[in-house]
Structure 1
């Protein structure tokens, strides 16, 4: 019974084998998700003026800073292979990555909090789309950060 699947050959996915294509596809998907996230909140703010307060946009700004922080550190730096200098070395890059993820999670949690506290549970009859747009923006930015960080190979980036 263990020899049943030994002779099955699954052809490799040729269009996704090259590291340069993998990096390009991950970068394009990540950039598109980042664009869609900001487009959603701009749409919500323009269609429903006055419902999205200026402070709500800080969640998206913090998410964007998180994206920059997470993707400014390569996996080789985290492992300690390519980063020997500085005052903290690989430990500093790990702390930087951790703080980037904390900021990303914080922006998603804060936007979820704003969605349920001010738009879903509100007794005032306003549209829920601005709150949903705020949550979608931060979720898409966080997913974009993860795709760009873990969806590419390290050969071309560091």
Structure 2
């Protein structure tokens, strides 16, 4: 069952050459998702300005998620594999530890946003939009991180 999609191919579109535009499209898609995540949270903060409606401490999930976005994308895939990064503080091991810490921050922020959504809004029978805004902000930043990290090719950088 592990390799049932090994020989699956998407039909090739002859009208568009995605190979040359892959980095640009991944960057634009990641930027739009990142922007949308912060826009949703800023909208919720404007609509619900009182701390009883939207606790200001809930913004820390988005801040840590943004920090993790930069940490994860600061390390290239070649550095993690050890192809292009031989010297420095810790070399390949340091790049892997940095990437691991970034992913742990990202997953921690996403899980904390779910906890905020259900713990502070759904179970309390309050207006759910601020909790949804916190969750969608972190989910969109998470998706933008994945698209930017794994949707780009590194031929331009090596």
**Scaled by the length of structure 1, what TM-score is found?**
0.88
Residue 57 of structure 1: aligned partner: 59
**Alpha-carbon offset, residue 81 of structure 1:** 0.5
Residue 127 of structure 1: aligned partner: 127
Aligned length: 146
Q: Runs in 1 of length 4+ with deviation above 2 angstroms?
A: 10-19
Q: Deviations over 1:33-65 (max 9, x none)?
A: 000000001111111221222210000000000
Aligned-residue Cα RMSD (Å) equals 1.3
**Alpha-carbon offset, residue 127 of structure 1:** 1.2
SS across alignment from 2:59: helix
**Superposition pairs of residues 6-45 of structure 1, within 5 angstroms:** 10-19=11-20, 21-45=21-45
**Scaled by the length of structure 2, what TM-score is found?**
0.88
**Alpha-carbon offset, residue 87 of structure 1:** 2.5
Residues 13 and 79 of structure 1: CA distance in aligned 2, closer, same or farther (over 3 Å): farther
Residue 69 of structure 1: aligned partner: 71
- The 1-side partners of 2:13 and 2:118 are apart by 45
**Alignment partner of 1:109 out of 103, 108, 111:** 111
**Superposition pairs of residues 79-158 of structure 1, within 5 angstroms:** 79-123=81-125, 126-158=126-158
Residues 16 and 60 of structure 1: CA distance in aligned 2, closer, same or farther (over 3 Å): farther
Q: Structure 1: 5+ residue runs without aligned partners?
A: 1-9
**Alpha-carbon offset, residue 16 of structure 1:** 4.2
- The 2-side partners of 1:54 and 1:137 are apart by 15
Q: Structure 2: 5+ residue runs without aligned partners?
A: 1-10
**Alpha-carbon offset, residue 12 of structure 1:** 4.2
Residues 85 and 43 of structure 1: CA distance in aligned 2, closer, same or farther (over 3 Å): same
